[in-house]
Amino acid sequence: MIYTLTLNPSIDYVVKTNEIIMGATNRSSNEEYYFGGKGINVSCVLSELGFNSTALGFIAGFTGDAIDKGISNEHIRTDFIRLKNGISRINIKIKAMEETEINCQGPQVDADELDALFKKLDQIEDKDTLIIAGSVPKSVPEDIYEKIMEKLQTRDIRIVVDASKKLLLNSLKFNPFLIKPNKQELSEIFEVDINTKDDAVKYAKLLQQSGARNVLISLGGDGAMLIDENENLYEAGIVDQPVINTVGSGDSMVAGFIAGYEKTNSFEYALKLGSACGNATALLPGLATKEKINEILNLF
């Protein structure tokens, strides 16, 4: 079984308008909404690929109900912890002449609710995969990822970490199966400018030396690369089509990679399928669909 963990899920409310005038009433030209959170995105794309997953995390209030109901389908089992207070956050994405985002904080997570999460981790068995993705709410300890990995370290579980700077770095001592920094995150971690693929390889190898088994790097318009645990380097390109949306592309890449590896045990194919999923999301208003993924796979 594949498990995804999203500590702070959201409803992403996308508002499109020609312009924003501050201090005035503005009218939208279109609205869309998506159920968000990095782990949830991974589960949704896994579902498109026909892979079952269980979505873990915290939800609250009427927005939490909508998230739970909205992503539940034959391939996604939800096993969220329902918080006593607050509502799951609504993030506002304004698309005008420039894009503006307001990401909200989310509900308060109490100590007993955090304990409930750790109890749910007991259902994860040897040979399962756990994908830990995204930021940590302010009410949750900053070392939550480390504590989760420490609890599971005696089991034969593939753990994937897709998080930023400190969260990612502090996880490396537990030897995660896969990490997926993008070029910007890699630059921030080492406080350098990543200008070439050779630069990306150099710093990815440093992350391996610190404990990561496999390092998948998304390079935006330059594609993606993987340095696997056998020190092999694989590269993947992009599809030359107009980009519509980059939100969720990295999560889609993680989903495709894990699905590809589960299916074939091949790192090369895992990167190919991961890249196809990331590209598919970039070319659609929402997340990758099975049809778009297959279309792109035929182009690679």
pLDDT given at position 299: 83
Handedness of CA 21, 26, 32, 37 (dihedral sign): positive
User: pLDDT tens for residues 117-166?
Assistant: 999 999 999 999 999 998 888 899 989 999 999 999 999 999 999 988 88
Catalytic residues: 251
- Count of C-beta atoms within a 10 Å radius of residue 187: 17
Nearest Cα to Cα of residue 293 among 44, 75, 1, 35: 44
Percent of the chain with pLDDT over 90: 72
Pairing of strands 89-95, 99-102: antiparallel
Per DSSP, the three-state class of 53 is strand
Location of structure tokens 């995804």: 4
- In this model, does residue 281 exceed pLDDT 90? yes
pLDDT given at position 243: 83
- In this model, does residue 98 exceed pLDDT 90? no
User: pLDDT tens for residues 217-275?
Assistant: 998 888 899 999 999 999 998 888 888 878 889 999 999 999 999 999 999 999 999 99
Q: Which of 37-51, 94-108, 196-210 has the highest mean pLDDT?
A: 37-51
Nearest Cα to Cα of residue 36 among 71, 61, 62, 60: 71
Residues 6+ positions from 283 with CB-CB distance below 8 Å: 239, 241, 242, 243, 244, 292, 296
- In this model, does residue 97 exceed pLDDT 90? no
pLDDT given at position 182: 87
pLDDT given at position 165: 81
